[in-house]
Structure 1
Amino acid sequence: MSWLFGSALRTTMVERADALPGRESPAFEVPTTHTVLGTPLAGPWPDGTRVLYLASGCFWGAEKAAWQLPGVVTTAVGYMGGYTPNPTYEEVCTGRTGHAETVLVAYDPTKLSDVDLLRHFWEEHDPTQGFRQGNDVGTQYRSAVYTTTPEQQAAALATRTEFAPRLRANGYGDITTEIRPAADAGPFFYAEGYHQQYLDKNPAGYCPINSTGVACPIPTGA
């Protein structure tokens, strides 16, 4: 989506001291309900629901892929991993907030395991491209996993370890995906309402597919 606002296509991370100042409260209202699943975007969700934050380029297509998975309770798009509080989409597109376009995935781990969700994540994009996905160039399009449980963190690292040699064997470079606890990455800021479930509202909308076509194996012992 970098073409939408003529972004500077920033390919180096902004320093905290140089980030945009942001604001104390959101600059817009966010819908409360998922347009496809009919579930709350921000909870409350059923007991036992887990949340994982995934960044894999343009969040429109990534969110649609996630809400179609069995066991997903809700999804939402937003901005995470940066410095600017309560950013707008236009600000994120400048590369001066430090955020990645991120999908919140709330799911039932008895129906969708951490490993299976992460295998889907690895397979749906090219995690070797650095600050880009296909024609979308900029730090906001980087690949990232922000975990909320130790089990998710372990699964993210294990699936990366299994996937990396498969990618190299198929001619790809090293995985550049950022993996860290959500608590270290900073808050998830919900994106503007028109971004939420964008491809449900706009079925013919921009939806890049940047999969490598390489399958991610199940880690030993998973």
Structure 2
Amino acid sequence: MIGIDAWKQRMPRRDEALPGRERTVLPTQAHHVLGRSLLAADHPGMARIWFGMGCFWGAERKFWSLPGVRSTAAGYAGGYTSNPAYREVCSGMTGHAEVVQVIHDPAQIGLDELLRVFWESHDPTQGMRQGNDIGTQYRSAIYAADVTQLAAAEASARRYQTALDQAGLGAITTEIALAGPFYYAEDEHQQYLSKHPDGYCGLGGTGVSCPVGPVPRI
């Protein structure tokens, strides 16, 4: 987008990013819906993946009700600043996307189903925005825990692009990469729409269904 908000859609360079801090912020409360810990270490044997779909309030709600999802958490990933705060992420000077950590039992819900929900629940063609939410923190992103997840995400993007092409829609701009550090958002942002049912949710999909395929073998 060219105009008054164009600066919000430019990723900062590493040397421009805010410095952050050494102190790690961890959630102090159990999941408001599921009643379980938000910490991955408290779910041994489970898999996890991180999705950016715009504002993480609505994105998190898309996943916590799925059978087989053990826990979800809002947070920040894909940037440079260590242990960023919400206002710093919103400044556009940390490089992070607002993301949801999804911890799931692979025996109960497969990665292909999580990817289907991801693609169908937002518009992955909008670049550094999602609807009226404009800025690098609102970009579409998948951060994979390992190369198997990464290959599955890339394959699903190719399938969904074919479906979008058939519908006459644009090119996917989703960032797909191996995960770097994930930082938990502050307690007030965790399961926000469960705590505030009338709160803001800017998610909106394309209306195009995502073909489901097998997870590639590595």
TM-score, normalised to structure 2, is: 0.92
Pairing of 1:195-210 with structure 2 (within 5 A) = 195-210=189-204
Query: Alpha-carbon deviation of 1:158?
Result: 1.1
Contact conserved, 1:9 with 1:94, CA < 8 A, in 2? no
Name which of 210, 213, 218 aligns with 2:207: 213
Name which of 49, 64, 67 aligns with 1:67: 64
Query: Alpha-carbon deviation of 1:32?
Result: 3.6
For residue 126 of structure 2, give the secondary structure of its aligned residue in structure 1: coil
CA distance in 2, matches of 1:137, 1:83: 19
Pairing of 1:91-110 with structure 2 (within 5 A) = 91-110=88-107
Q: Which runs of 5+ in 2 are unaligned?
A: none
Q: Give yes or no for the alignment of 1:192 onto 2:186.
A: yes
- Identical-residue share of aligned pairs (%): 52
CA distance in 2, matches of 1:15, 1:107: 34
For residue 73 of structure 2, give the secondary structure of its aligned residue in structure 1: strand
Aligned position for 2:83: 86
Name which of 21, 24, 36 aligns with 1:23: 21
Counterpart residue identity of residue 103, structure 2: A
Q: What RMSD over aligned residues (CA atoms) do the two structures have, in Å?
A: 1.7
Q: Deviations over 1:31-70 (max 9, x none)?
A: 2410110111014344420000000101000001110111
Q: Deviations over 1:61-81 (max 9, x none)?
A: 000111011100000000100
Q: Deviations over 1:110-164 (max 9, x none)?
A: 1110111111101100000000000000000001101112221121011111100
Cα distance change, pair 39–221 in 1 and its aligned pair in 2 (3 A) = closer
Contact conserved, 1:48 with 1:109, CA < 8 A, in 2? no
CA distance in 1, matches of 2:27, 2:121: 27
Query: Alpha-carbon deviation of 1:207?
Result: 1.1
Moved more, 209-218 or 72-81: 209-218
Name which of 117, 120, 123 aligns with 1:120: 117
Aligned position for 1:55: 52
Aligned position for 1:4: none
Aligned position for 2:31: 34
CA distance in 1, matches of 2:55, 2:191: 12
For residue 163 of structure 1, give the secondary structure of its aligned residue in structure 2: helix
Contact conserved, 2:133 with 2:202, CA < 8 A, in 1? no
CA distance in 1, matches of 2:187, 2:6: 24
